[in-house]
Structures are given as structure tokens and as C-alpha cells.
């Protein structure tokens, strides 16, 4: 399979998609806001390398699911502009994947942050 565009142009497309998600998707901006707050808190709580690794993995996981959800919603809207039960299922299941990843991130965040916060309070 031959490449249609140079790799630098592929990166340009990817950054364009990221820019589009930031500009057009309020949920993506919300996830980004909480990711930044979480990273700042982790810095001040002196996370270890392994804690940073877990935290960054979970943050990126949520962002990836939000981007995939956005892409799937756009595709479904394109191929099925009229309301169809199958289109609703596709969109709802994609949204559920974001919800599950966000719940997972909250659980992991509690495991990482609570012991450090409790230690500060004692």
C-alpha cells in the first residue's frame, strides 16, 4: 500500500483533528481542563514515576475515547442524517465508552490521590 501523502502532512492532518476537537467539542475541552488540573495537583503531590505513568495513561485513554466518539458521531451524522435506531445505538455506545473510561479514570485517580491527600492532612 503506497502512502498518498508525506508523513509530515499526516501529522498536519492529525493536529488539525485535535484542533477541531478542542474548538468544536465542549466535552473534549472539559476533559482537557480536568487533565490539566489533575497534572498540576500530581506535580504538587510529588507523584513518583510509576504514578505519573499510570496517571498519563489514564488521561490519554479518556482523551482517545472522546476523540473516537467525536469521529464516530460525525461519521454517523454523515451517513445517516435522518434518525434511525441503529445510528442512535452507535452514538450511544460510543458515548458510553467515554463514560466508562471517565469512571475508570476517577477510580484510578482516587487510588493515586487519596493516600497522598490523607497523608498531607494527618
Q: How far is CA 121 from CA 2, 81, 97, in A?
A: 59, 54, 35
In the chain the domains, ranked by start, together with CATH numbers, are 26-121 (1.10.287.3610)
In this prediction, residue 14 has a pLDDT band, given cuts at 50, 70 and 90, of very high
User: Taking every pair of C-alpha atoms in the chain, what is the biggest distance, in angstroms?
Assistant: 61
Q: Catalytic residue numbers?
A: 66
Instruction: Indicate yes or no: pTM above 0.75.
Output: yes
45: DSSP letter:
T
Tens-digit pLDDT profile for residues 30-45: 999 999 999 999 999 9
pLDDT recorded at residue 8: 87
Amino acid at each position: 500500500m503506497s502512502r498518498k501523502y508525506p508523513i509530515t502532512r499526516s501529522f498536519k492532518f492529525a493536529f488539525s483533528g485535535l484542533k477541531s476537537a478542542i474548538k468544536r467539542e465542549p466535552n473534549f475541552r472539559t476533559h482537557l481542563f480536568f487533565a490539566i488540573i489533575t497534572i498540576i495537583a500530581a506535580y504538587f503531590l510529588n507523584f513518583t514515576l510509576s504514578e505519573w505513568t499510570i496517571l498519563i495513561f489514564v488521561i490519554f485513554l479518556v482523551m482517545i475515547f472522546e476523540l473516537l466518539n467525536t469521529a464516530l458521531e460525525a461519521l454517523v451524522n454523515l451517513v445517516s442524517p435522518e434518525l434511525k435506531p441503529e445510528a442512535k445505538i452507535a452514538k450511544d455506545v460510543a458515548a458510553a465508552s467515554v463514560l466508562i473510561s471517565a469512571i475508570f479514570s476517577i477510580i484510578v485517580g482516587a487510588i493515586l490521590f487519596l493516600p497522598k491527600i490523607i497523608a498531607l492532612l494527618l
